[in-house]
Amino acid sequence: MEMFLSVLALSLVGVLVSAMLFAAALPRPHEIDTRRTSDDARVIQAGRFFVDDRRRDIPAAISPVPLEALLLQLERHVRLEQAAAESFHWSPTPEALHMRTVSPLVH
């Protein structure tokens, strides 16, 4: 009987110790949130790693478009630029040189 009680007591102590260790190993709820946020941030940072922030002003007109459409945009751009440059040629002033264009490749 004594031996049985001793084994039972030791078993209970073992279960308690195991339970405490298990509980200690589990992350607490606020720790999970923090870790997820930091993981998300890492993913976002990894996704933006090759993004050159200096290029954020590049107009949407240069974003991937069908080749034919891009060539038409380029043709229109060249014609508009040439018209602006020709007006500078006939009346050369700094204002004429930097006259604004309506080309979608610039805005």
Q: How far is the CB of 54 from another protein (least distance, A)?
A: 7
CB of 26 to another protein, least distance (A): 50
Angle formed at CA 29 by CA 27 and CA 35, multiple of 5 degrees: 70
Q: State how far the Cα of 14 lies from the Cα of 17, in Å rounded to an integer.
A: 5
| 86 is an interface residue for another protein by CB under 8 A | yes
- Nearest alpha carbon to residue 86 among 74, 75, 97: 97
Task: Note the residues at the interface with another protein (CB under 8 A).
Answer: 54, 57-58, 64, 67, 70-71, 74-75, 78-79, 81-82, 84-86, 88-89, 97-98, 101, 106
